[in-house]
Structure 1
Amino acid sequence: MNYRIQCFASIAERIGRAELLLPSDSDTIRVIELKQTLAAQYPEAAELIMRSFVAANQQYAPDDSIVTPEDELAIIPPVSGGQGNAQPEEDVSQANHNDVSSTNGRFRLTRQSIDAQAVERQVSHPNHGATITFSGTTREITGNQQTLTLEYDAYIPMALQVMEQIGDEVETRWPGTLTAITHRLGTVGIGEASVVISVSAPHRASCYEASRYAIDRLKQIVPIWKKEVMSDGSFWVDQPNWNPIARNHADNANHTDHADLHKQD
């Protein structure tokens, strides 16, 4: 039997493929053992694999959990919530996907330019007195480094599911709040929006808080990866000490340093 494992972003580049087949005589395996086996087979990516998380059926799986060959498995490298120490890599292109959205239509991944007003209309409500729309755009210069473009990869079905989860978290914390998120995939040029988040609420205080929470959570837990394409090379942005299932992520979401998250304002 084989464990079929999807790969993305920096791991896909390191090993040169988007899917792995891991033969095994066992019909169950612990996640940590799966990672250790992959690390041994692909030493060039071993350190990255051990820092990554496994997703089973589009849910983050702790290292001590059990998975089977029937599970939908993916190895999830650290997402682009912070500046890491990634090194230039050769590009491994991903097949294009059509634009996709959640069942309620408010959470979307697209390879087209984002219409911020269209995102905002998705949270329009006659009983809401406040709407905030955040647009994160590609910045050209940071310090003495010049960015040419950004490139985004995603585990698409899981990313949509987690974006919906964020919307549910926002509504639970600030009852009555509506959230819509659209995120770009593929190449995003200088000055273009890579993400637009619109939040509406009955009152402005909760709207401000919910908007900040939504963008922080997106950068912490959604399996979307960003590659910086610069004049002297390219690298995947890597969040150090990344742990999407840490208990305090939700509680600390509003204390993230935005300057260190990524090249967006």
Structure 2
Amino acid sequence: MKVVIKTYSVFKDVLGNEIELELKEPLTVRELLRILEERYTLPRDLEKLVIVDDKVVDENYVIDRDTTVHVAPPFSGGGRLVDVKILDEDSEVDFNQLLKGLMNSGAGALSVFVGFVKKYVEDHEVYELEYSAVNSVALKQLEKIAHEEAEKHGLNAVVLWHYLGKRKPGDVTVIIATVAQNRVSALNATRNILERVKKEVPIFKLERRSDGEYWVVGDAKRYQRRASNE
């Protein structure tokens, strides 16, 4: 199993831009970092931010295949993590892993918003929501919002993930997480990102419920779907 280690900032000065390791069996991130500290003198006194497959992972994450692992010190000042994704309906999110990774960013506040499907709307039972989008445009717009709000509020990190496809009551639809030096910046950024996503991103929502099907536009406007459109 070949694992490529790419390093940044002060770690790059120690290990160089990247190194390759040939491993005979799976190992955890904790075990990998120990190898880097003992064999390659990676500084022990600095926290490590580890990213695999574009996700921040914790020390219990198991590396069990050929992959690239990014290792960086905590963000400060100008450095930041911006993680934007469109998820399909079969994707599952490990919230423990997500939060642990963000809490290791070296900042002082973490704000998280998780949207999920309601069971009842206007006293009518909701069966499911179906999200569709102009994917390429939606992703670019999500990235634009994330970067702009990160810059505006001086965030250390921002995560913005939105689901497409069918979602049942209780299913997650959108995840927004912001990390900042203080709670005011984190909370304001999360609120602004949510409102901008609703207004600026071409993601469309069809609500199927006990009294029919409705296109949901904005926060509350609902237009009943015509039978001829089915």
- Bin for the TM-score computed over the shorter chain: 0.5 to 0.7
Q: CA separation in 2, counterparts of 1:105 and 1:169?
A: 10
Report what 1:108 is aligned to.
Answer: 85
Aligned-pair CA distance for 1:114: 3.3
Give the match's secondary structure for 1:106: strand
- Alignment correspondent of 1:142: 121
Aligned-residue offset at 1:206: 0.7
Match of 2:175 among 196, 199, 205: 196
Tell me: CA distance 1:222–1:125, structure 2 relative to 1, closer, same or farther (3 Å): farther
Q: Once the 2 structures are TM-superposed, how far is the Cα of residue 105 of structure 1 from its aligned partner? A: 7.2
**More contact order relative to length (CA 8 Å, sep ≥ 6):** 1
- Matching of residue 225 in structure 1 with residue 225 in structure 2: no
Counterparts of 1:185-264 in structure 2, within 5 Å, are 185-239=164-218, 260=220
Compute the displacement of 1:191 (Å). 0.6
Q: Which has the larger radius of gyration?
A: 2
The equivalences for 1:53-72 within 5 A come to none
Tell me how far 1:160 sits from its aligned partner: 1.1
Rounded to whole Å, the distance in 2 between the matches of 1:196 and 1:214 is 11
Inter-partner Cα distance in structure 1 for 2:119 and 2:155: 37
Deviations, residues 166-192 of structure 1 (Å, cap 9, x unaligned): 111112211134211111111101111
Structure-to-structure mapping, 1:70-109, within 5 angstroms: 106-109=83-86
Paired positions, count: 143
Aligned with 2:143 (options 164, 167, 175): 164
How far apart in 1 are the matches of 2:189 and 2:200? Answer: 16
Q: Which runs of 4+ in 1 moved over 6 A?
A: none
Q: Distance in 2 between matches of 1:233 and 1:132?
A: 36
Unpaired stretches in structure 1, ≥5 consecutive residues: 1-100, 240-257
**Partners in 2 of 1:122 and 1:106 — Cα distance?**
12
CA distance in 1, matches of 2:156, 2:82: 16
Name the TM-score, length of structure 2 as normaliser: 0.55
Give the TM-score of the pair, scaled to structure 1. Answer: 0.49
Distance (whole Å) between structure 2 residues aligned to residue 148 and residue 171 of structure 1: 36
**How far apart, in 2, do the equivalents of 1:188 and 1:198 lie?**
21
Counting aligned pairs with the same residue, the percent is 26
Distance in 1, Cα, partners of 2:198 & 2:118? 17
Cα distance in 1, alignment partners of residues 135 and 97 from structure 2 = 21
C-alpha distance in 2, partners of 1:181/1:236? 23
DSSP 3-state at the match of 2:192: helix
Normalized per residue, the structure richer in strand is 2
Indicate the RMSD between aligned Cα atoms, in angstroms: 2.7
State the distance in 1 between where 2:122 and 2:132 align. Answer: 25
Report how far residue 146 of structure 1 moved.
1.4
Question: 1:183 maps to which residue?
Answer: 162
Could you tell me how far apart the structure 2 residues matched to 1:261 and 1:204 are? 32
CA contact (8 A) 2:132 2:165 kept: yes
- Is the 1:177–1:207 contact (alpha carbons within 8 Å) kept by the matching residues of 2? no
Inter-CA distance 195–118: structure 2 relative to 1 (3 Å threshold): farther
Q: Distance in 2 between matches of 1:122 and 1:164?
A: 20
CA, structure 1 residues 165+222, in 2 after alignment: closer, same or farther (shift >3 Å)?
same
Aligned-partner residue type, residue 233 of structure 1: G
Query: What do residues 47-104 of structure 1 show as CA deviations (whole Å, max 9, x unaligned)?
Result: xxxxxxxxxxxxxxxxxxxxxxxxxxxxxxxxxxxxxxxxxxxxxxxxxxxxxx89x8
What stretches of structure 2 of length at least 5 have no aligned partner? 1-53, 56-80, 223-230
Q: CA offsets per residue over residues 198-229 of structure 1, 9 Å max, x none?
A: 11101111111111111111111111111101
